[in-house]
Structure 1
Amino acid sequence: MFTGIIEELGEVRAVDHAQDAATLTVSGPQVTSDASHGDSIAVDGVCLTVTAHGSGWFSADVMAETLHRSTLGSLVPGSRVNLERAMPSSGRFGGHIVQGHIDGVVEVESITPAEKWTVVRLRAPHRLSRYLAEKGSVALNGVSLTISAISTEPAQDWFEISLIPTTLAATNLGGLAVDDQLNVEVDVIAKYLERLGSVEVAR
């Protein structure tokens, strides 16, 4: 489990593609400082398992399902990625409950800089819109964020986030451009509430 507080910006060293999978090798001195085989590290919000590691780097296998559902399939050597180690049992929730299980991708519709923050509007898949709520939590590329505005029109599936300078500097959200795609994980509590409601109706 993660909290959406990015520890460092890593860099993709290599992407080795196989028929239905890929192996990512990523530089990340901080997240690998205590890494062991089998540890979990979130790469742009995707929970991956360390299969090899060395001084300042680690490798992880990515299956076809993950490559298709997330943006990891578009990574190339030199790509900058957000990194976070799994939260220890003695850790503190700085963000919100993030599982590292990506629900899909969203696209940047507009970017509006302001004096103290930057507002980013994103287009969401219709199937995910019901899990988004104004002032609710969402993880984008693994970053825990608060939804600052959301469409009230049924035909428009957009939401907005407001990024402070610290977030722009410490994560790869600082390099966003219109039409960029981001990994999205909606609040797991919303999904469980929906599931519980459907079970009760079925009874």
Structure 2
Amino acid sequence: MFTGLIETVGTIAETVAIPRGRRLRVHAPALLDDLRRGDSVAVDGICLTVTACTADGFVVDVVAATLERTTAGEWAVGRRVNLERALTLQRRLGGHLVQGHVDGVGQARAVVPDGDALWLDVEIPAQVARVTVPQGSIALNGVSLTVQRLRDTWVRVALVPHTRRVTNLGVLKPGDRVNVEADIVGKYVARLLEPYTTRDPGSVPGY
């Protein structure tokens, strides 16, 4: 579990094909003080397990299903990725509960300057839009953001100077793809209501 508050931005240092996946070496010296083999790290919003620690970062394996469902299949050496270690009970929950289970890939549609901030419009998967609400939360590349506007299958979020400085969202341009995770609360509510919203007229819940 994560908070969506990015700790540092790392760099893909190496990518190697393995059976049914890829092995990535990530340059992330800022995380070395408290990182162990077996730890979970959100890499651009994808929860991955550290398989080895290196002198300047760590190694993770990405399975084929994750490569297909996220932007990880597009990552090349030199790509900058948002990084966050798993939440501990001693840390403040400053963002929102982020699982690191990406629901789909969105696409930046517009980046609009507004003073020191930017408005970012993103086309999101329909299944994510269905459980998203205005003023609710959404994670883009692992970053916890507030939904400022929701229309059909696109959302608008604000990128304040701090977010632009400490994440990779500040360099997004129209057409760029991002990992999207819906708020876990919305997903559970939708699941709980499913028997009542999809059942045949006259049927009894639970039968």
User: Which residue in 1 is equivalent to 2:170?
Assistant: 174
Matched, 1:86 2:82: no
Q: Which amino acid aligns with 2:85?
A: R
Classify the secondary structure of the residue corresponding to 2:51: strand
Deviations 1:124-144 (A, max 9, x none): 122221111110000000000
1:108 aligns with 2:108: yes
Q: TM-score, normalised by structure 1?
A: 0.94
> Using the alignment, how far apart are the partners of 1:118 and 1:144 within structure 2?
15
Instruction: Describe the superposition over 1:143-179 as per-residue Cα deviations: whole angstroms up to 9, x where unpaired.
Output: 000011111xxxx411100100110011000110101
Q: Is the 8 A contact 1:33 1:56 kept in 2?
A: no
| Paired residues for 1:122-161 under 5 Å | 122-151=122-151, 156-161=152-157
Residue by residue over 1:8-65, the C-alpha shift from the partner in whole angstroms, topping out at 9 and shown as x without a partner, is 0100100111242001100111223211110001100000000011222100010001
Runs of 4+ aligned residues of structure 1 deviating over 3 Å after TM superposition are 199-202
Normalised TM-score (structure 2): 0.93
SS of equivalent residue, structure 1 residue 30: helix
Residue 97 (structure 1) aligned with residue 93 (structure 2): no
The code of the aligned residue for 2:44 comes to D
Unaligned ranges ≥5, structure 1: none
Residues 106-140 of structure 1 show CA distances to partners (whole Å, capped at 9, x for unaligned) of 00111101113100111112222111111000000
| Structure 2: unaligned runs, 5 residues or longer | 200-204
Q: Which amino acid aligns with 2:96?
A: H
Aligned partner of 1:91: which letter?
R
Tell me how far apart the structure 2 counterparts of residues 168 and 65 of structure 1 sit (CA, whole Å).
30
Q: Aligned equivalents of 2:10 and 2:94: distance in 1? A: 20
Measure, in 1, the Cα distance between the counterparts of 2:65 and 2:38. Answer: 20
RMSD value over aligned CA atoms? 1.2
CA contact (8 A) 1:5 1:84 kept: yes
CA displacement at 1:69 relative to structure 2: 0.5
Amino-acid identity (%)? 42
Is the CA contact (8 Å cut-off) linking 2:145 and 2:157 kept in structure 1?
Answer: yes
> Which amino acid in the other structure matches residue 148 of structure 1?
Q
Compute the displacement of 1:199 (Å): 4.4
> 5 Å matches for 1:60-71?
60-71=60-71
| Higher Rg of the two aligned structures | 2
Residue 131 of structure 1: SS of its match in structure 2?
coil
